Amino acid sequence: MEDQVTQILERIRFGEALCELDSAKSRLQSGQLQELIGHLDRMREHFSTMHALPEERSEVMALRQSLADLRVELRPCIQDVEAKLEESLKEYRSALGGDKEAFEKLSEAEQEGSRPLAYRFKKDYRTLKDLSELLSLLSADLMNLSDRVEHHFLHSHPAPEIGDYEYRDNVPAPGSISP
């Protein structure tokens, strides 16, 4: 579990770094960006204090619920980023018109020099694409961690004995209607 938490923390730091890029700042409204950064901060705080798996069922359920809540909070952020991603892609295609293939064959420096607006849209798209993928991975990581916590708890707490039942207890009673 420690590796998984470390991976989540690394992804959160990377997400925060992506949010600081000018292309993210220019595309996402300040409210959306602040909301996303706030969610990432809360996630970082949550995971930086997690050192061991809980042992009590109520603690396990509370942890799983908090992980689900983090995923629910993250979902609108993912949708906002994906909407801006689509918008950025449309603007990129619009700025290039029919010259998209020729433009993409140019080097980065040539692209920036020949069509600065299209290049900026392309750069914005890449940043938003990275951010979208990262947020989706974080959401998946939260779900996987929740499953792992539950499986760890179930394996460390064997099921109680339920007793032996005779086969006849499982056989239904004969019908009351005679043939």
The parent domain of residue 121 ranges over 2-53+62-156
Q: Which residues of 138-158 are buried (b: 16+ CB within 10 A; e: fewer)?
A: bbebbeebbeebeeebeeeee
Q: Is residue 166 part of a domain?
A: no
Tokens of 44: 């970082």
Give the pLDDT score at 33.
77
Q: Is residue 118 part of a domain?
A: yes
CB 149 within 8 A of CB 52: no
Give the pLDDT score at 165.
55
Give the pLDDT score at 53.
75
Please list the rounded mean pLDDT of every run of 10 residues in the chain (179 residues): 80 83 76 81 80 80 89 90 91 87 90 90 90 91 89 79 62 72
Q: What confidence tens digit (pLDDT) does each residue in 52-69 have?
A: 777 788 888 988 898 899
Q: What confidence tens digit (pLDDT) does each residue in 7-19 have?
A: 888 888 888 888 8
Q: Is residue 163 part of a domain?
A: no
Give the pLDDT score at 90.
92
Domain total of the chain: 1
Tokens of 67: 């992980």
Question: Residues in the chain, how many?
Answer: 179
Q: Is residue 11 part of a domain?
A: yes
What predicted TM-score, i.e. pTM, was given to this entire model?
0.75
Give the pLDDT score at 179.
61
Tokens of 83: 């909407």
Give the pLDDT score at 1.
64
Query: How many other CB atoms are there within 10 angstroms of residue 83's CB atom?
Result: 13
Give the pLDDT score at 68.
92
Give the pLDDT score at 169.
59
Q: Is residue 174 part of a domain?
A: no
Burial of 164 (0-12, 13-18, 19+ CB in 10 A): exposed
Q: What DSSP string describes 106-165?
A: S-HHHHHHH-HHHHHHHHHHHHHHHHHHHHHHHHHHHHHHHHHHHHHHHHHSPPPP----
